[in-house]
Structures are given as C-alpha cells and as structure tokens.
Amino acid sequence: MTSLPACPGIDRHAHLEGGLDPRWVRDRARERGLAAPAPLEALWRGEAVPFEGFIEAFFFGCRFLCDADAVRDAVRAAAARLPPESGAPRGVDLWVSPHLLVKQAAFLRLDELWRGLDEGIRETRRAGIRIAVIIDAVNHFGVEHGHEVLDLVLPERPPWVVGFSTGGLERVPFRDWAPVFERARKAGLRLAAHAGENGPGGNVRDAILDAGVERIVHGVRAAADPALVELLADRRIALDVCPTSNRALVPDLGPHPLPLLLKAGVRCALGTDDPGVIPTDLTGEWKAAQNMGLSGSDLETLARNAQADAWCLSAPAD
C-alpha cells in the first residue's frame, strides 16, 4: 500500500488575532472579569455560527493583544501550530489587522505592534520557520478605511510586511476598492482578498478583474461557476483553502469543493485561518483534506502549491 504524503510545513493562511490560544484568552478574560461572547463559546465547541457572530468572536480576543510581548507570543503560537514532523521549508503567511488594534480599538501603539511582530518573526526564523505579514483591511468598513490602513502602515513598513488584503463581510464591491489595491500595489505590496466565503462566488471574479489580486482566500463559492473555476486555473490564482473554518462559517456549502478545484487545476493550498477561534491546526486541515477522498497525487499537489505560492518563503530576511 502506497503511503500518503506527509503534511507540509507551510500554513498558507493564518490570522494573528484569530490564533490566540483559547485557554490563554479565557485566562485573560477571567483576569478582567469578562465572559467570552456566546458565538465564541459556540465556535470553541465546534458549532457553526453566522459570520456576524464570528466577527464578534474574533474581536473579543483582540483586546488582549495589548503590548509587544502579547504580540510576540501570538506569533509563537502561529509557528507552534505547524506539524513538528514536517521537513523544510516551514513557514506561515500571517494576516494582521493593525488598524483594528492600533486605531479603532487602541489596544496598543503601532511601534509596540511592530516590535512584537519583529521579535516573534526573528525568534521563529532562528528555529527555521519563515513568517511574512499580510496587512488585512475590512471590506465592510469601506474604502476610506482601506486608505487609512495604508496611511498607517506604509510610512515605516517593516520588510516582512509583504502583502495587502481585505477581509470581513463582502459588502463593498471590489471595483470600489480598486484604488486602494492599486495604491498598495504601487507601494510594493502583493495583493490578496477574502472572497467567495460569506459573499457570492462572483466576488472572486471581481477581486481578480477589478482589484487585480493574485491570491484569493477561501473562494469556495467560486466552485459552482465553471467559467470562474477556469479563470482561476488560467490566471494561476493561488487559493488559500481552510476546510475547518469553511465548515463553521459556510454551513450551506455542501460537499467541500476542494477536490473539484484541484481536479480543475486551481492552485489550492491549506491554511488554518483563525485556529484559536475555530480550533484546528495544520495537521487537522491536512486530515480534513484526506477525508475528502483526495488521492496521493492530489495531496502531493497541495503540498507543492503550499510552497510554490507561499509569500513567507520569498520575504526578506530582515
């Protein structure tokens, strides 16, 4: 019997703020006399919630990222979720929401955020793990918010900040966001977008054609449109797929489309998304993919894609 490929050591999509360990969050909340919101408790139990409930759950833990040490520890947690048995290369493409942490909620200063990230990234690099940061703006906060995010991060952008993305509720059309993406591109950032998750599959097409992104996060609803699947394959768009998160936040998805997308030649790879809010790790995502009936060849393709399209592997060393 042919053995299946081992889980790769690249987490292609993880959020810093969504990766806080549940026990750590409970302890911090208890210290402040706070109770975790009902949607977060539900997600910790493995239950599905509406996307608006997920946003409430995601924001709850952010308040505990209040100094550089907490940020550094969150980077460590992201690296620790890589399978210990995986060989080189190892790395994480890490999404971070600085405007939320620094401006909207004012949990910490920007210099504290940068210092915590830098310390964590340097520490994990010494352990052989590469980390790149993708700045995340929030689609439903609107285009002006996107410009404010860039105003915040571009003046003193660290070298490990390599990309710009939008997340949140898919409400504002990507054609409206196009000037923000173009500004980010001209500043040297690579472009990604959460699309086709809590919004229609057509948002994936709009993100590619209107905003010029080279990478889609989730994109699972695109699978229902053969022409869109063909566009993804023809344009060699990287697709970050997070099965555990998809099951929790896209309950009407039906059979997961990962096998269909791989068969069509879409460059899919696996990520953990928000593994502290929706508990998982990269090994869990790999097992979920195996349970979809993927062949050994399919799994090898997933592993190759994880490396080929990972931004952390090409990020500057300093």
Could you give the domains of the chain? Answer: 12-313 (3.20.20.140)
Instruction: Count the alpha carbons within 13 Å of 61 in the hemisphere toward its beta carbon.
Output: 30
> β-strand 90-96 against 129-138: which pairing, if any?
parallel
Contacts of 151 (CB under 8 A, 6+ apart): none
Alpha helices in 87-136 (DSSP H): 98-99, 110-126
Where does residue 173 fall: left (phi above 0), alpha (psi -120 to 50 degrees), or beta otherwise?
beta
Digit-by-digit pLDDT tens for the chain (318 residues) are 356 678 999 999 999 999 999 999 999 999 999 999 999 999 999 999 999 999 999 999 999 999 999 999 999 999 999 998 888 899 999 999 999 999 987 789 999 999 999 999 999 999 999 999 999 999 999 999 999 999 999 999 999 999 999 999 999 999 999 999 999 999 999 999 999 999 999 999 999 999 999 999 999 999 999 999 999 999 999 999 999 999 999 888 889 999 999 999 999 999 999 999 999 999 999 999 999 999 999 999 999 999 999 999 998 766
Would you call 264 exposed, middle or buried from its count of C-beta atoms within 10 A (0-12, 13-18, 19+)? middle
Q: Whole-prediction pTM value?
A: 0.96
CB 63 within 8 A of CB 4: no
